[in-house]
Amino acid sequence: MEYPHIPQHFSKDELFEHFTLTQDERYNLPQWRKEQNILGFAVLLKTYSFLGFPPRRKKDVPVSVVSWISQQLDVDPAGYERYLWKSRLWDIHLASIRDYTGFRPGNREDFQKLANWLIEEARRHPSRSKMYAAAIHRCRHLRLELPREKELQRLVNSAWQQYLSIVCRKISESLGSKIRIKMDQCLDFDPDHKSCLKLSDGRCRLGSQVPEQKTYVLSRNRGGSQRPVQRHTGRNMGPKERKRHTSHEALF
């Protein structure tokens, strides 16, 4: 689930579903003398309900939404341009809308409780993306305004890391001492071979990244002198290369 935003294009059905004023909303519209303020209030109300927080910028509201709401109020949509965004009147409108919808801005304690809830319920949303979606749904359920997108991402990332730490600790605590010792031995590094995992008898595990073993054979060049030739073990060769090298080595 992505962070809520208002798309720039809506179908008629979507406009009808999300931005049609109900009878109760119409009844609660303040009776301002200026049409621009009535329209501004209605646009703020419907976009607030759609997002779960007030739009960050006036231009984030598409023309199609303003036009759809103005038709319902029978006012000029151009009046929205004269509506002062984040003004004193806008603050009064927002306070009234919060009262009407029951939503409120969250504080530090609210978001700490949200993080704790995400950790406790993490089994129900066992991935970072599912936890992110759960955080958005939880805020709506609690009627909390969503924090900004980056703030919500930081909160979810922190909760996810804490959950993983708890899981790792529980797994470690459930293991017997013998198993933990064996695991420590497997993670022991061979000083002569980087990234080489050692078995209990000291041998390197197959598939570990050991530097390719090289042997040298003597071959005669055309002048009869001897020079060292690098010989590969064939571990990383394909069938054709291995066959070619085998036939070449058979000459010596």
- The position carrying tokens 């958005």 is 136
Confidence class for position 191, pLDDT limits 50, 70, 90: low
Question: What percentage of the chain carries pLDDT values higher than 90?
Answer: 59
> Which pLDDT score is estimated for 217?
36
CA distance 174 to 186: 19
Question: What percentage of the chain carries pLDDT values higher than 70?
Answer: 73
3-state secondary structure of 224: coil
Tell me which H or E stretch contains 48.
helix 35-51
- Across the chain, mean pLDDT equals 81
Please answer whether residues 61 and 55 qualify as being in contact, where contact means their C-beta atoms are separated by less than 8 angstroms. yes
> Which pLDDT score is estimated for 230?
47
> Which pLDDT score is estimated for 132?
96
| Alpha helices in 143-205, H assignment, sequence order | 149-174, 177-186
Q: Write the DSSP assignment of 84-107 as a string of letters.
A: -TTSHHHHHHHHHHHHHH--EE--
pLDDT tens track for 192-239: 555 555 555 555 554 444 444 443 333 344 444 444 444 444 455 555
> Which pLDDT score is estimated for 181?
80
Higher per-residue confidence, 101 vs 229: 101
Average pLDDT on 166-170 reads 88
> Which pLDDT score is estimated for 249?
46
> Which pLDDT score is estimated for 33?
73
Please answer whether residues 115 and 132 qualify as being in contact, where contact means their C-beta atoms are separated by less than 8 angstroms. no
* pLDDT greater than 50 at residue 109: yes
Give me the residue spans of the domains in the chain: 12-102, 108-174, 214-249
Higher per-residue confidence, 248 vs 243: 243
* pLDDT greater than 80 at residue 8: yes
pTM, to two decimals:
0.67
Burial of 187 (0-12, 13-18, 19+ CB in 10 A): exposed
Average pLDDT on 75-93 reads 93
Residues 6+ positions from 214 with CB-CB distance below 8 Å: 230, 231, 232, 233
- The position carrying tokens 């409120």 is 104
